[in-house]
Chains A and B, each alone.
Chain A
Amino acid sequence: MGFQLLASRLLNPFFGSSLIVWAWLISTFLAAFSLGSIIGGWISNAPLRQRERSQWIAGAIAVGSLAFTAFYGRSMLGQIEIAFAEITTGLLVACLALFFLPVTTLSSFGPQCVQYLASRGTPPGKASGLIYGVSTLGNIAGVMLTAFVLIPHLPVSTLLYLWLTVALVNLTALILLLRSSPGNTAP
């Protein structure tokens, strides 16, 4: 959600700050959450080797696409703005190009965390509630931190690099943690 605030700051100079921008931005993020959760569900039930490979691929795509947004986001938006005279089409392309992939791949780790807890004996319902509860609290913290501390003091480009670094460190740690799941030690 904090990334969503940054995304709006990135889009505003090119597409304005009208309701149309927010509608496309929120829809893109929700679609990415949705697809990411479905993909994460598949990965969590995949055979061990395929699951490990998928986790690294998802992590690499998440970091790579975040890096693309951080380093080339503005120049990409400039190109999209010129290429699409119609604002709605331009926004759709911009949101898909810059935000859909990182949010989808990051969201895919939610169900895998549920599976991780369930495989260690936590009842599935409890595991699911815990993961999504903690995730939502994290979103609140992310929004508040971004809105009231980070955006007032740091440029958007710096924050995107910060996001990229945090994603790289956290995803590496998370993937290593998921490998220690009891299901991963079975033959």
Chain B
Amino acid sequence: MKARIFQIYSVVLILSCVVTAFAVEAPDYVENHDTLYNNLTIEKRGTVVELRARSRAGEYLESAVDLADPLRLVVPYTRSLFAAAFFEPNPANVLMIGLGGAGFHRLFTHAFPAARLQSVELDPKVWELCQERLAFKPTAQTPVAVMDGRLFVKRNREQWDWLILDAFRGGFVPPHLKTQEYYRECAARLSERGVFVTNLHQDTELFAADLRTIQSVFPKVYLFQTHGRGNVIVCALKSTVSDLGWEPDIAALEKLNPKLASKLDLDSLAAELLPFPVELAAKGRILTDDFSPVEFLDALKTNNTKAR
């Protein structure tokens, strides 16, 4: 009898092990790439491919795409970038500095099929991996230039309706992309109703300096906080069309762009609007080409995800 129980127990044990092994899906692959500017990890787990960069405190999620549902915004802050639509709901020409895995691009081209989205990426390997591993297929409407973001803004004479600065190198933004002079160059390339969008880290010493510097160039600055992630998305306008009591017009945007509204919870996005921290910004020092110690102010405490 005991032998019989032991046999049944063994069969159950083996079966449970087999079931567990299948239930916990192993990563399809993990690759490491030493590039000219980054140490990158690409990990495919199920249908999601993540692009992570090594930084001081570990690996940080730069970008991610769900290959089975490319329109899903896997990295939370990329959703907040669409807050620009509250200010300029009909972008025809958009510039994005920092390609990453082009997680933002899939939903953008779906929601704004007539718009052109120009990207600029410094690291040629990121551009290569974005196509080969994150399945980004550039078209005539989504061209990519491999060069420094500041040089591109200086040399390209187009006007942009949204100008998105999301260029991180190993967890921090290069100092020359954080200065008053650069923001002025960006403002000069914005259309009249254009929106300058950038991704800041709230829990760094750099935050106050960033806000003060952006405020010194753009007359209107709105902040959207990606909940629980430490990211704050800045939407800065060079025009003063919106008043102080401005609130996102969700109904108008839903009506104008049902494709975007069907994929994005606009109410929850609008709820991310933060009151501008006037006192904090006043404590920051304006960063210029002459004084921009970004590496020392940007004591990275949080990022898109916790350190792995």
Closest-by-CB residue of B relative to A19 is: B36
The interface of chain B, by Cβ under 8 A from chain A, is: 36-37, 122, 147-151, 154-155, 174-176, 179, 181-182, 288-293, 296
Contact between A16 and B176, CB atoms less than 8 A apart: yes
Chain B residues near A19 (CB-CB < 8 A): 36-37
Could you tell me if B122 and A18 are in contact, using CB atoms closer than 8 angstroms?
Answer: yes
Contact between chains at B179 and A16 (CB < 8 Å): no
Instruction: Please tell me which one of the listed residues A9, A87, A156 contacts residue B151 in the complex, with CB atoms under 8 A apart.
Output: A87
Interface mask (A5-38 → B, CB under 8 Å = 1, otherwise 0): 0000100110111110000000000000000000
Assess whether A157 is in contact with B36, with CB atoms less than 8 Å apart: no
Tell me how far the C-beta of A135 lies from the nearest C-beta in chain B, rounded to whole angstroms: 27
A17 touches B176 (CB 8 A): yes
In the docked arrangement, what's the CA distance between A154 and B288, Å? 12
Chain B: minimal CB distance from A91 (Å): 11
Measured CA separation A155–B292 after assembly (Å): 8
Contacts A18-B122, A19-B37, A87-B151 hold; do A12 and B290 have CB atoms under 8 A apart? Answer: no
Residues 24-81 of A at the B interface (beta carbon under 8 Å): 74, 81
Task: Give me 7 other A-B pairs in contact (C-beta within 8 A), A18-B122, A152-B296 excluded.
Answer: A12-B174, A13-B176, A13-B181, A16-B122, A16-B147, A16-B174, A17-B175
Q: Which 9 A-B pairs have the closest CB atoms?
A: A16-B148, A12-B176, A155-B291, A155-B290, A152-B293, A152-B296, A13-B289, A17-B174, A13-B176
Which chain B residues lie closer than 8 Å to A17 at the CB level?
A: 148, 174-176
Assess A15 versus B151: contact at CB under 8 Å? Given A155-B290, A155-B291. yes
Cβ of B36 and Cβ of A13 under 8 Å apart?
no
| B154: A residues at CB distance < 8 A | 81
Among A12, A13, A74, A85, find the residue whose CB has the most chain B CB atoms closer than 10 A. A13
Residues of chain A contacted by B36 (CB below 8 angstroms): 18-19
Tell me, in angstroms, the Cα distance from A76 to B174 when the chains sit together: 23
Q: Is A168 an interface residue (CB 8 A)?
A: no
Q: How far is the CA of A16 from the CA of B291 in the complex (A)?
A: 16
B175 CB contact (under 8 Å) in A12, A85, A154, A155 = A12
A16 touches B150 (CB 8 A): yes
Chain B: CB-nearest residue to A13: B289
A interface, CB within 8 angstroms of B: 9, 12-13, 15-19, 74, 81, 85, 87, 151-157
Q: How far is the CB of A138 from chain B (nearest CB, A)?
A: 23
Decide if A13 touches B179 in the complex (CB within 8 Å). yes
Report the separation of the CA atoms of residues A17 and B154 in the bound assembly, to the nearest whole angstrom: 14
B179 contacts which chain A residues (CB < 8 A)?
A: 13
| B83 CB, nearest partner CB in chain A, Å | 28
A13/B291 in contact, CB under 8 A: no
Closest Cβ of chain A to B1, distance in Å, is 74
Q: How far is the CB of B84 from chain A (nearest CB, A)?
A: 25
Cβ A18 vs Cβ B291 within 8 A: no
In the bound complex, CA of A65 to CA of B272 (Å): 53
A154 touches B174 (CB 8 A): no
State whether B150 touches A18 (Cβ < 8 A): no
Q: Which residues of A contact B176 (CB under 8 A)?
A: 12-13, 16-17
Residue numbers in A under 8 Å from B175 (CB-CB): 9, 12, 17
* Residue of A15, A18, A154, A155 most packed against chain B (CB within 10 A): A18
CA distance A152 to B293 in the complex (A): 5
Assembled-state Cα–Cα distance A57/B254 (Å): 73
Contact B182 A13 (CB under 8 A): yes
Q: Are A156 and B37 in contact (CB under 8 A)?
A: no
A13 lies within 8 A of B150 (CB): yes
Tell me the minimal C-beta distance from B146 to chain A in angstroms: 10
Most chain A Cβ neighbours within 10 Å, of B154, B181, B182: B154
A13: B residues at CB distance < 8 A: 150, 176, 179, 181-182, 289
Contacts A16-B151, A18-B148 given: A157-B290 contact, CB under 8 Å? yes
Contacts of B151 in A (CB 8 A): 15-16, 87
Can you list 27 A-B pairs, Cβ within 8 angstroms, ordered by A? A9-B175, A12-B150, A12-B289, A13-B150, A13-B176, A13-B181, A13-B182, A15-B148, A15-B151, A16-B122, A16-B147, A16-B174, A16-B176, A17-B174, A18-B122, A18-B148, A19-B36, A19-B37, A81-B154, A85-B155, A87-B151, A151-B293, A152-B293, A154-B291, A155-B291, A156-B289, A156-B291
